[in-house]
């Protein structure tokens, strides 16, 4: 498969999965889950979906279990939305929010606090 096409399909899958998991699923274990990326195999038979979440290591197993249980629903929704000839098998990999992610959260909080105090003189 063409590398550019693979990248476009991966990004489209990431966007759709982020929307489905973030807004359309009611499982409370998936409340703080973000779809970070999708890596497709060259033959489009397997897609490794990277997710991140805020939580402890034991919650990682619960998040992966919830996503694994929802795999058929997610594949069906992706097939409907993306109109692919062959929908890949989804494999989920979770990672805790890293130090850089925590730093980003702190910077965003600081920006929100100082939003109304800009001095334009």
HEC readout, 7-42: HHHHHHHHHHHHHHHHHHCCCHHHCCEEEEEEEECC
* Domain ranges, residue 111: 3-116
Q: What is the pTM of this model?
A: 0.74
Residue 67 inside a domain? The answer is yes
How many domains is the chain partitioned into structurally? Answer: 1
Q: What's the pLDDT tens digit per position in 1-13?
A: 578 888 899 999 9
Whole-number percent of the chain with pLDDT over 90: 43
Q: What's the pLDDT tens digit per position in 75-105?
A: 999 999 998 888 999 999 986 555 556 666 6
CA 10, CA 65: separation in Å to the nearest integer? 22
Specify the pairing of strand 46-53 against strand 89-96.
parallel
The CATH number of the domain holding residue 100 is 3.30.300.20
Residue 121 inside a domain? The answer is no
């Amino acid at each position: 498969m063409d590398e550019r096409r693979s990248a476009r399909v991966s990004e489209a899958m990431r966007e759709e999965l982020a929307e489905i998991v973030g807004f359309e699923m009611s499982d409370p274990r998936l409340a703080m889950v973000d779809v970070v990326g999708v890596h497709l195999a060259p033959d489009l038979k397997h897609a490794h979906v990277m997710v991140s979440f805020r939580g402890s290591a034991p919650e990682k197993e619960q998040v992966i279990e919830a996503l694994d249980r929802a795999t058929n629903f997610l594949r069906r929704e992706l097939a409907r939305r993306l109109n692919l000839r062959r929908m890949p098998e989804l494999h989920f990999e979770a990672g805790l929010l890293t130090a850089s992610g925590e730093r980003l959260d702190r910077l965003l909080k600081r920006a929100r606090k100082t939003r109304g105090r800009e001095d334009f003189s």
